[in-house]
Amino acid sequence: MDFETLIPLMRSLALEAGDKIMEIYNSDDFEVRSKSDDSPVTIADEAADAIISAGLRASFPEVTLITEEQAQSHALKADTFLIVDPLDGTKEFINRRGDFTVNIAYVENGVPTRGVVYAPAKNRLFITDVDGKSVEEVGPFARDIAGVQNKISVKVPDNSALLVVASKSHRDQATEDYINKYNVADSKSAGSSLKFCLVATGEADLYPRVGRTMEWDTAAGHAVLIGAGGDVVRFDTHESLTYGKEDYANPFFIAYAPGVELKSAQ
């Protein structure tokens, strides 16, 4: 893969999609529909998907592209592929809470090695560089020229006082029960793939997800976390979370900074 081309392209497309999303987000009203699985979708999801898909297919037509908003792509199978969630956190978008992201990732042999996570309403942009190391770019953001990019890294956790982040829209009793296995200094909620990025920057140590997600929800954030020295494992076995699974559905998982003494699921 030509990462010298891919990384700037993913960054530019994420910013362009984010601009379109914010245009709709700041409008007086927008239509909300339900997909076949009853999850919500808006014109912002579809507009962002059109921008990203066109850009990726134009530059990398030979690479399999999986995107949430194109159901026909979910039948494609490959070990190495591009995967997109053009608007992760649609519920946050609909409720104008700001915790939504644009996610673009590249998966190699089942591992997300490159990714971009852009939170346009939060003005935060996380990128893996050509070497797979993660940075956070400081705005204002220009599509054609990268700004100041600061390296990010997980912090060394204190197991007697962990910082935990969990889903804002899906924080249930099972999640609370698992979090209560740890000595927690602070626990907060956040939406979308921002949770991976908070672990990547050291703003959190642990993100458990006891609920359904799809690979397009997690791949970009997972790549950013890997590039910052963190990891994501299955909730049940603590084995690495892999990609390209049947129907692109994830098991429950734990994203964390190495040094966290992971507790069993039982």
Q: Hey, what are 233's tokens?
A: 């494992």
Give, as one character, the DSSP assignment of residue 132: S
Number of Cβ atoms within 10 Å of the Cβ of 88: 28
Helix axes 43-59, 3-25, angle to 10 degrees: 160
- 88 marked as part of a ligand binding site: yes
Q: Is 37 helix (H, G, I), strand (E, B) or coil?
A: coil
Q: Are strands 101-108 and 111-119 parallel, antiparallel or unpaired?
A: antiparallel
- 37 marked as part of a ligand binding site: no
Give the integer Cα–Cα distance in Å for 56 and 10: 8
Q: Hey, what are 36's tokens?
A: 């076949």
- Mention every residue, 6+ apart, whose C-beta is less than 8 A from residue 131: none
- 90 marked as part of a ligand binding site: yes
Rg over alpha carbons for the chain, rounded to the nearest Å, is: 17
- 87 marked as part of a ligand binding site: yes
Give the integer Cα–Cα distance in Å for 147 and 120: 15
- 49 marked as part of a ligand binding site: no
Annotated binding site for Mg(2+): 68, 85, 87-88, 217
Annotated binding site: 68, 85, 87-90, 217
Annotated binding site for substrate: 68, 87-90, 217
